[in-house]
A = this chain, B = another copy of it.
Amino acid sequence: MAERARTATATDAAAAPPRRIRRGRGAVTLAEVAAGAGVAPITVSRAINNPASVSDALRHRIEQAVEALGYVPNRMAGALASARTRVIPVIVPSLANVVFVEVIEGIQETLEAEGYQMLLGSTGYDLATEAALATTLLGWAPPGMLVAGLRHEARTTALLRHAGIPIVEFMETGRAPIDMNVGLSHVRAGAAMAEHLLARGYRRIGFVGLRLHDDYRARQRYDGLRRHLAGRAAVILFDRAGAAGQVGGQQAGWDALPELLAIAPALDALFFANDEMAVGALLRARRDGIDIPGRIAIAGFNGLPIASLTTPALTTIVSPRKQIGREAAAMLLARIAGREPTTRRLDVGFTLAAGGST
């Protein structure tokens, strides 16, 4: 066997176990393994994909040849021939946002357990990029697809709707999904925070976002807040600019606090679009000696671990991010396997964690 292996890879000087994988035109092929083991290619294919279907003797010879030649099956050829891939594309707006990363972890975990691989694409919050990405990714003939959000360009929606594969849109609930949906209601989350702030006596409330034009889920939280407060408290919206691709947003919160206090000194509470901004504001308050919540209350959204470590602890809304990922992937896998999931639209809900900051 070793003899044959060496012959097959003549350019390899003193090859022992060190394999020679020649990729592109030139990689070790199934046919070469078959020749090495003295069997037909289809038998090698079976030995690899369904070992039980091949006799022990042949399987052993084939395994040796695979080892000796350093054979790595060409997945594209396999996928093309079988019309089956185990790679599932996942489209998210950004990796710079911890929230998506945690959802992705939940997805990855679930997919991996079933032998699927994740192909990650990031749009940079741009719907045109999303459309292009969706097209490219569909070109890999995936068995299903996961996309963040329910809002897309019309062509993206049309493309996915007619792709003939299961699709899960994850993050928020709301409008009708292309196919399936897992998430939470950001409108209700905003309303929940409104209720909390009202209950604690705040009546002049500012909502502070970062590049809200891109972040429509934050806008939904604002909408929920505004509607719930209507007639009961005053609301102001602040849309902060900020470096694109900025990780976190602490700096934005840090910068915002003194400016907003100067512009609107009568405000008694600030609901930030996310915990990073809220933490940045808390840190600024700490440095400048601004009393929280005495001078002004501060709340965030997401429920990041750091929220419970600040002084005072940050009031925030905890979203079950990893669960969203797991449920979305599970729903998709069920449909890929031909099973009908328990539900095609899942609202995972949220919880409000009240801290000392409000």
Contact = CB atoms under 8 A, between A and B. Distances in A.
Given A80-B80, A104-B95, A119-B119, A19 B141 contact: no
Nearest to A20: B162
Given A95-B104, A284-B309, A73 B23 contact: no
A76 B80 contact: yes
A294 interface: no
Contacts of A284: 309
B120 A118 contact: yes
A311 B254 CA distance: 12
A174 interface: no
A181 to B, nearest CB: 20
Interface string A141-178: 11100000000000000110111110000000000000
Contacts of A105: 95-96, 245
Contacts of A83: 24-25
Copies, count: 2
A159 B234 CA distance: 64
Contacts of A95: 95, 101, 104-105, 108
Nearest to A75: B139
Contacts of A119: 119-120
Contact of A248 (B164, B245, B250, B306): B306
A157 to B, nearest CB: 10
A117 interface: yes
A241 interface: no
A305 B248 contact: yes
Interface in A105-126: 105, 108, 117-122
Contacts of A163: 21, 23
A108 B122 contact: yes
Contacts of A162: 18-21, 70
Nearest to A307: B250
A159 B286 contact: no
B104 A23 contact: no
Contacts of A25: 83
Contact of A19 (B96, B108, B159): B159
Interface string A285-321: 0110000000000000000111001110000000000
A140 B23 CA distance: 9
A162 B69 CA distance: 11
Contacts of A139: 72-75
A102 interface: yes
A124 to B, nearest CB: 9
Contacts of A23: 138, 141-142, 163-165
27 contacts: A18-B161, A18-B162, A19-B162, A20-B162, A21-B163, A23-B142, A23-B164, A25-B83, A27-B164, A70-B159, A74-B80, A74-B139, A74-B141, A76-B141, A77-B80, A95-B108, A98-B247, A101-B247, A102-B247, A108-B122, A118-B120, A247-B305, A248-B306, A250-B305, A250-B306, A251-B309, A286-B311
Given A73-B139, A251-B309, A283-B306, 9 more contacts: A18-B162, A21-B159, A27-B164, A75-B140, A101-B247, A119-B120, A247-B304, A248-B304, A251-B305
